[in-house]
Chain A
Amino acid sequence: MRRLLSSLVLAVVAGCSGGDDPAPAPEAPKVAPDIPAQTGLARLTAAQYRASIADVFGTEIVVPAQLEPDVVQEGLIAVGATAASISARGVEQYESAAFKIASQAMKSDAVRARVVPCAPGGPGDAACAEKLASSLGLRLWRRPLSADEVASVRDLTLKAAAVLGDFYKGAELGIARLLQSPYFLFRVGLGEQIDGARRYPAYELAARLSYFLWNTTPDDELLGAAANGALSTEAGLREQAERLLASPRARIGLRSFVTQWLGLGDLDQLSKDPTLFTYYTPDLGPMAREETLRLFERVAFDERGDFRDVFTTRRTSVNPKLASMYEVPAPTRDGFGEVELPWDGPRAGLLGHISLLAQYAHPVSSSATLRGKFIRGRLLCGEIPPPPVNVNTALPEPSGTTRTLRERVAEHLTDPGCRACHFRMDPIGLGLENFDGIGRYRRDDHGERIDPSGDVDGARFADARGLGQALRDDPRTTRCVSAYMYRYATGFLEAYQEEPTIDAVDYAFRASGHRLDQLMLAIALTPAFRLSGDPQ
């Protein structure tokens, strides 16, 4: 990954200012080029599947817990979705889920009223079966069905209704057929030749926009904008993107992004030794994730504020358990409430969150390497090669002379073979050594005072809060979140020729005052988002 500064054209005002501290001239605006992002089928993620079902049928529908597992690629489920296929087990699970959903939907009067647009005159009511096929088909396949497709769903509904002697029982088969189709299970964004360029036709663009900003299927208004052509204009696209971002549902979209980018999904599977960490309970991971997601939500949507504040803010949302682990008074009796961490405390911002500190640690101890690798890779977009083979990786046990982790990992930074990679991770991760394997504060490690100082590529810091400040001030941090958001939106790791698009998006992000909602908007409005590549 290239650094931001290497790709920016910073016109420094040279010699024409008499001041002692000449400021760089304003950066020239960057315009995203007409270069498409990569194109391919994206399998619905488990979260997208659930959200789409809830939107189309209603939140009362219970979707089975087991669906085809998501695939992570390049650190993102969104990227894995464009490479994943459907396994034999997945076909079974999707079939079972489809029938369970269809059966619940047709048994519930409320859902039936929502979904079936007509009152069937009996099992053989072909007109009603056809109306159901086309109206539900539009919602589930995110596009109008062709006449043949409508006929296929209609005929199956009627055939099943005849066998089972009931229109709604027949409709269950029709619904299950729509739900098992690749047109539902995959987001089909293939593009067509339109007005001299390959671009996404309106319905494909609508789905692209909706799953990016809301992580769910397009609503009626967005489908309407696709139908009437508005979405195919630049102004119409902007209007819809702004509408989606103004909706509370954009928070769900942002939560999905942050969860993937920071790897917070794995917090459901934390492995911690409860005999060592008495605060550890299996619900700790999910509640710690909630704290982090609330921080991003607040900065992005409540405050429409500067993204970089997540690294330094002392305000956070905690429940009583997290409050006790942070040693602050609980703001509420139960549930989450906002607190301000002490001004002279050890903890501020994202890097003080239990979510990251526990996730990037061992089951029994902290890990400067795992934490440093996370910061280097996910927050700075730096590369770390995999460890070489046939090296002795044993760390010295804590002893009289090597008590703290800093002392124990010293070898990582002296042995040339280790140092090549570890100097990119450990000096950063050691800045978080004041927090143990589940993120509680500690002053000492094995009886010796912890030294949490270090540096990020030359930027010195004294402790965890200083590390947060260093990341806040590092331009690579914003470029990195821009790049991750772009990958999340497009479903692919960018190719070299897409770098200028990310530069332009990053420029817009910074120009907006580092507002995450504006970053999302900028990506949605790039040519890369609406132009399509060739089928691959």
Chain B
Amino acid sequence: MKKPTLSRRAVLRGALGGAAVAIGLPMLDVFLDSSGAALADGSPLPRRFGIFFWGNGVLPPQWNPATTGAGDEWQLSPLLLPLERHKKKLTVVSGMQVKTGNSVPHKSGPAGLLSGTTVQQGGDESFGGPTIDQTIAEQLGAPTRFRTLETAAWRGTGTLSYTGVHASNPAEFSPRGLFDRLFGDGFVEPGSSAKADPKIALRRSVLDAVGDDVGRLSSRLGKVDQARLDKHLSGIRQLEQQLQKLEENPPNLAACKAPAQPLDDYPDTDGRQPLAEVSRAMAAILAMSLACDQTRVFSHWFSYPVNNLLYPGVSAGHHQLTHDEPGDQPQVAKILGYVMTELAAFLDALDGVEEGDGTLLDHLVLLATSDVSYGRTHSLDDYPILLAGSCGGKLKTGLHYRSPASENAGKVIVSLARAMDVSLASFGSGDAKTSDSLSAIEAT
């Protein structure tokens, strides 16, 4: 994987795999003009990338809009109706296929779509490489406090965001935890001065020393374990960057202000997890983390593959219903209605932050997807892909594109990366390999 190229000072000395190690720190400080519409040098507001994921798939016949096209040429399908108010900023991509094979139900789909890899057999069913959120963040090397953020609405740390094999990024599932991390001690209000805390420099000295340990230990290891310590070192590097941001004056971003503090606890109701309440609390904090340029890449794990969560008003767990419920699966449809209502609320939070001459949603692209197409059969045909936001005008919106020939879903990923100014030579491998993007969804 490509290492960040912005290097201000070599923090770590030592050998890692025989090569000298330099910890990359950002060279650029971000200064925005007083209106916050653009950076001081006139370049536009940063573009961001996000993932909204739910488990157990969709019901394709009720999911896909009946007609295609732009504007009024198409109407939302019954399952997508909760998104009505966002239709103009939404693109539905249907008829695409994940082409990496389907060896591990519920994992092969997102592995193929998000990382272009196949699932490692047995074991922890790790993806075979980094997911697109991490690839984009790595290549952007943005000077943000956090390289990426991962959040969950369900009560669990599991995500499908990978930096590499066996290296997934755990999610924060407590809104209060996320709030404290982003807007607690380490947050400096725009316009105020950085805190002068001698402890920050000392913490960096600790990380220097720990990085030395990693280097010395790594030189004694085989390749597999070295790769594991590389991840550790990358985490140390990212924490260095966080600490450095604490010592800098914060960027003067007009849209940035600390959000309201969420509740400490969101209790269950009738054995049902408070998915909506937690998701909305997370969305409010995530939106401000983006507006404050604390990160430019995030993923929100509304629920997880194979989850058997109970939803209000349905008679069994989600996964069980997708397999056992006969007929048109009205109860599964009800759950999807719940999830889409919360996706709409998530978009409300992003669209509610005015930024420049639009909203935060206009300056990002959110990929909303799941682990299978039709839950009952674990199908990877006609994969559910929703896009929201134009990513600063790079992508078309208000569109339903339906692939006429089961095109490779990886083409969408190439388009999204390009919208973020990340150029992928190709994405995926074997039959799934593509260097083409999906030009139909790209603004020209």
Contacts and interface: CB of A to CB of B under 8 A. Distances in A.
Given A190-B220, A364-B315, A536 B225 contact: yes
B202 A362 contact: no
A407 to B, nearest CB: 14
A177 B163 CA distance: 25
B246 to A, nearest CB: 13
B337 to A, nearest CB: 19
Contacts of B105: 386-387, 389
A343 B224 CA distance: 54
B167 interface: yes
B379 interface: yes
B67 interface: no
Interface string A58-95: 00000000101101111000011001111111111001
A12 B146 CA distance: 68
Given A41-B221, A177-B206, A390 B378 contact: yes
Interface stretch (B27-35, B75-83, B236-244): B236-244
Given A88-B169, A177-B210, A394-B324, A95 B377 contact: no
A69 B170 contact: yes
B166 A83 contact: yes
A389 to B, nearest CB: 4
Contacts of A534: 222
Interface string B196-218: 00110111011101101110010
A104 interface: no
Nearest to A274: B271
A313 interface: no
A140 to B, nearest CB: 12
Nearest to B381: A390
B209 A86 contact: no
Interface residues of A, number: 68
A363 interface: yes
Nearest to B230: A85
B15 interface: no
Contacts of B230: 85
B124 A83 contact: yes
B378 A90 contact: no
B68 interface: no
Contacts of A180: 206-207, 210
Interface of B: 102-105, 122-124, 126, 147-148, 150, 155-158, 163-164, 166-170, 172, 177, 181, 198-199, 201-203, 205-207, 209-210, 212-214, 217, 220-225, 227-232, 234-236, 238-239, 242, 268, 270-271, 273, 308-310, 315-317, 320, 323-326, 376-380
25 contacts: A71-B166, A83-B228, A84-B166, A85-B231, A85-B232, A87-B235, A89-B172, A89-B235, A91-B236, A159-B205, A164-B202, A173-B202, A182-B214, A271-B271, A271-B317, A274-B270, A275-B271, A362-B320, A363-B310, A364-B315, A365-B316, A386-B104, A390-B378, A394-B326, A535-B221
Interface of A: 40-41, 66, 68-69, 71-74, 79-80, 83-92, 95, 99, 152-153, 156, 159-160, 163-164, 173, 176-177, 180-183, 185-186, 188, 190, 269, 271-275, 280, 282, 362-365, 386-387, 389-397, 493, 534-536
